[in-house]
Structure 1
């Protein structure tokens, strides 16, 4: 029988406590109230770095679409499918891998994903054709969802319960940096020296982060009590609150990726920015996302529903504005400025909403935050797959239609978020 929201909250509050201290080592440190010690700051930085390099590798084709297409003699839409297939594999493997590794020390699970990433990028850098490149990317796609599923729960186990949202947001700084630094940098490297150099650089950085994670992070072995509520025993498929968050995520991410997959094309054909300047607008998009992180850190823990609704509303408006610009046949300084401003808002709100949704998912499945995060990530990756594939079809029809579809889906997500109750509820600190 399905579990209603009230029962989910009650179960979360009654059984949440073991996960506030995933190891004796972490308990000793967080119980003193020293939330952001230098040691914890370094550990969170390594987790953010892991997210950074993984997402940079994932979205590399976005900034290198033309370079890859020319080098491997395939069309731009075909290169765009690299994101769709990557996300599809991640979506299919996330939940099984999260369950399979549920009893592992958390550091071990993270290290496995980073090793797969390093190997896949090494193969990609020397891929002789598009098929080999696609297969190489599948290697890290298999563990991509697992990495994003464990990195935020690991972060929350390093701090007191009252700071879980902020710890989750800290890991998302790495994702924002992937957009503000990783994507523009790989795009620039692809323009100047070729996309293979960009992939080789990712390989080296991934190897270094793997070593840093092994040295800096504690093993985080789960206790016998914690092991009773992880994996298949968590019954997340019966958790209505968690399923609602996952469905909302699926809708919003699909709408986002319909257009984001072809963001370079939008910059060129809608905003009117071309050539190497594309990297600068991509950087502005990422900078906005990075700047949004400290702004949403406290609201994630205190007023999550109002904040996520605000972000989604702004995103809906951004896609409406870009759709209007795309339908227009003019290209003036004003349209460039309006388009650039829309991109800045797009970057800030899209990156700000993600940690809120993941934090809501982990609160909804507090007995097994890794498993709850895994279900959320599966929905996220399905959204990327659906959005990328739909974006490719709509791009072939027209760019305005593609942007309009993003606006419609984001508006649907906004309406659903506004109508839901209890989904983004934060339990009192005494029960956290």
Structure 2
């Protein structure tokens, strides 16, 4: 196949049926993320109902991340004893149980148990969902498939979190969790179909081998570059480049810490900068919409120029979070509002794009052990959430202005690492 034929082949690789299957996988990430963050918008209602403080309810989100970080690697190792489909279905089934337990919670302890249950299988789903998506598409569309799946998380920021808050105000938080449980059951059933046996005819239509850990060694070869070196990786003999995987995960850790250091206290920052808490809903919507758009766009370039995509994403992230810090300076009100709106859009878009860029990079470096490498990445991601939110709580005790300032400093470190070390592997002839 010639170089000029490759794009057309890649485009033909994702037909309508594959797109629907990817949408089902995206729905799985949507329900998981929505349950993970749903206490944020209903924190007062939940606290009153469970006779707890808002601070205790807030710890449900931080604690979730800590449990997921500790449990991911061992639970993924356990899940390796069964098929990927079985592991994903079981993780969603556990989520349904956790949601039902949360809806029936008569006290704070029961709510904690429900959060722990969901967090225990969180890493299994997030470690296996991207590799599962990769098996549905040709190798040169892996980045697109990963971005599509991560779109579910972006949609959770646009619809899931605001939606549960809105519905909770109408029918109560317990009924809202039951609605989410019903949605999770539907997604679970759809997932069984999406990852079920594909017909031989459908498989024959694929122009090129799928990115599958069970693929035959005879599938062919691909060229992957890490840093300045380009190395051909033969499927039958490739091994995990753990040094490169850990380096990329390290960069991701700093980025996630920088993000959640400010994002966890988004409402506080917005209120202090604008002096009006009511604009928070608008800015959260802007954040989510920018993330959805960026997730779509990154899928178009992540398969062809991942290193350049990573660099551009980090530049935008630094610009966004840095511009947010400008809101705390003595500038005219109109300038402050404009700066915050633009900052939120750039910040939301860049962070949403960074997820599929880093996740796809980890899978490319992992060769045939994508599940285990993804487990390490998910663990690091959860550690970053805990580090960011915890550090932010300390800085908030001094001044909210410290949050975007420190986030900007950490983001700059990430940008330097991406530009100098180039931890995201290149593909093809990218330099």
TM bracket (short chain): 0.7 to 0.9
3-state secondary structure, aligned to 1:302:
coil
- Alignment check: 8 A CA contact 1:272 1:331 kept: no
Equivalent in 101, 104, 111 of residue 123 of structure 1: 101
Structure 1 residue ranges (4+ consecutive) displaced by more than 4 angstroms after TM superposition: 31-34, 219-226, 233-236
3-state secondary structure, aligned to 1:398:
coil
Equivalent in 32, 38, 44 of residue 54 of structure 1: 32
Aligned to 2:338: 337
Aligned to 1:308: 310
Q: Which has the higher contact order (CA 8 A, sep 6+)?
A: 1
After TM superposition, the structure 1 stretch with the greater mean CA deviation from structure 2, 149-158 or 75-84, is 75-84
Equivalent in 166, 190, 195 of residue 188 of structure 1: 166
After TM superposition, the structure 1 stretch with the greater mean CA deviation from structure 2, 241-250 or 294-303, is 294-303
Distance in 2 between residues matched to 1:115 and 1:65, nearest whole Å = 25
Distance in 1 between residues matched to 2:263 and 2:31, nearest whole Å = 19
CA drift of 1:140 comes to 0.8
- Alignment check: 8 A CA contact 1:83 1:388 kept: no
Q: Which runs of 5+ in 1 are unaligned?
A: 1-30, 227-232
Aligned to 2:118: 140
TM-score normalised over the length of structure 1 = 0.83
Matches for 1:242-257 after TM superposition, within 5 Å: 242-257=245-260
3-state secondary structure, aligned to 1:158:
coil
Distance in 2 between residues matched to 1:66 and 1:391, nearest whole Å = 21
Aligned to 1:266: 269
TM-score normalised over the length of structure 2 = 0.83
Give the direction of change, closer, same or farther, for the CA distance of 1:55–1:340 in structure 2 (3 Å limit). same
Distance in 1 between residues matched to 2:163 and 2:396, nearest whole Å = 25
- Alignment check: 8 A CA contact 2:306 2:357 kept: yes
- Alignment check: 8 A CA contact 1:105 1:222 kept: no
Give the direction of change, closer, same or farther, for the CA distance of 1:112–1:427 in structure 2 (3 Å limit). farther
Aligned to 1:284: 286
User: Is 1:150 the equivalent of 2:151?
Assistant: no
Distance in 2 between residues matched to 1:224 and 1:362, nearest whole Å = 15
Q: Which runs of 5+ in 2 are unaligned?
A: 1-8, 199-211, 218-236
Distance in 2 between residues matched to 1:206 and 1:247, nearest whole Å = 32
After TM superposition, the structure 1 stretch with the greater mean CA deviation from structure 2, 90-99 or 121-130, is 121-130
CA drift of 1:327 comes to 5.1
Q: How many residues align?
A: 390
CA drift of 1:200 comes to 2.4
